[in-house]
Amino acid sequence: MTETDRHTVKSFDDDIGQLRAIISRMGGLCEVQIAAAVDALVTRNVDAAMRVVNDDKRIDALEAEAEALAVRIIALRAPLANDLREIVAALKMAGVLERIGDYAKNIAKRASVLAQAQPIEPVVIVPEMARIVVGMIRDVLDAFVDRNAALAQAVCERDRGVDDFYNSLFRSLLTFMMENPHYITPSTHLLFVAKNLERIGDHATAIAEMVHYAVTGEHIVDRPKSDNTSTYTQPPAIASKPEESE
């Protein structure tokens, strides 16, 4: 290999390393944003919620940086096979992570609204959902950096747990609203929060599928999905107490 070839290879490796670093920073910010948004929800901290909203622009800026770098690598380096798959995966991941950041921002916005309402009991399920999706994002980023297809596959399988929590919270909130009609507005906001977390789990799974394909060249098939709220009608009617005889 000539000196020029070695320089070219090193420059290409540096570009790939920089792209991975940008994606990792985006993922790290998404983790922080989700955790901060849910903490603001639980603690009813409006100022903390607004900080999450304002910080979303940092993720947007990194997405633009990742996109520009990926396009430049493809244009200048003409990568093939494994390298091309990784770059295309990183390009797609940047867009998905930006969307995850938007979901965290939406949770923070609703946290600001919920802070003005009376606390509702079903909110206790939300932090556990957030813990799972943050862990999924962390692990799928590790899988991307380490090119670990097995870890990516494991992330896909954990999405079922997020769906189970969402199904449980959905049913709980429907029952809660029937029993407490004056809580319908905050309960509806909390449903949207839970749906945002469920969608974050879906996006983390989508990233895991991208990573798996980038590493192996094979698609994951039959991904588990257990959000069954679309088939849920209503909870059983609440039985009224029998009137006392005179």
- pLDDT per residue as tens digits for the range 150-163: 999 999 999 999 99
Which runs of consecutive H residues, i.e. helices, occur in the chain? 3-43, 46-77, 81-114, 126-146, 149-179, 184-216
What domains lie within the chain, and their CATH numbers?
Answer: 7-230 (1.20.58.220)
172 and 125 Cβ atoms separated by less than 8 Å? yes
Radius of gyration of the chain (CA): 22
Is residue 209 over pLDDT 90? yes
Q: Are 201 and 133 in contact (CB under 8 A)?
A: yes
Alpha-carbon torsion, ordered 46, 47, 52, 55, to 10 deg: 150
Query: Count of CB atoms within 10 A of residue 100's CB?
Result: 28
* Cα separation, 171 vs 142, whole angstroms: 34
**Alpha carbons 193 and 113: distance in angstroms, whole number:** 11
Dump pLDDT digits (tens) for 83-122. Answer: 899 999 999 999 999 999 999 999 999 999 999 988 887 7
Number of Cβ atoms within 10 Å of the Cβ of 17 = 11
**Residues 160-187: tens digit of each pLDDT:** 999 999 999 999 899 889 998 988 999 9
- Spatial separation of the C-alpha atoms in residues 180 and 185, rounded to whole Å: 11
Q: What pLDDT digit, counting tens, does each position of 70-82 carry?
A: 999 999 888 888 8
Q: What is the pLDDT of residues 224-242, one digit of tens each?
A: 566 656 555 555 444 444 4
Kindly indicate the confidence band of residue 204, based on its pLDDT and cuts at 50, 70 and 90. Answer: very high
Residue 27 CB coordination number (10 Å): 26
Average pLDDT for 52-59: 97
Whether 35 has a pLDDT exceeding 50, the answer reads: yes
Q: Is the pLDDT of residue 139 over 90?
A: yes
Q: Does position 5 have pLDDT exceeding 60, yes or no?
A: no
Percent of the chain topping pLDDT 70: 86
Q: Which residues fall within 8 angstroms of residue 165, CB to CB, at 6 or more apart?
A: 125, 128, 129, 132, 194
Amino acid identity for residue 231 in this structure: T
Distance CA 106, CA 16 (A): 32
Report the pLDDT value the prediction gives residue 96, as an integer from 0 to 100: 97
Q: Tell me the pLDDT of the chain averaged across its residues.
A: 88
**Band of residue 124 on the pLDDT scale cut at 50, 70, 90:** confident
Alpha carbon separation from 7 to 1, 4, 81, 189, 239 (Å, rounded): 10, 5, 21, 55, 77
The DSSP code sequence of 173-192 is HHHHHHH-GGGHHHHHHHHH
Sign for the CA dihedral angle at 132, 136, 138, 142 comes to positive
Amino acid 119: pLDDT: 85
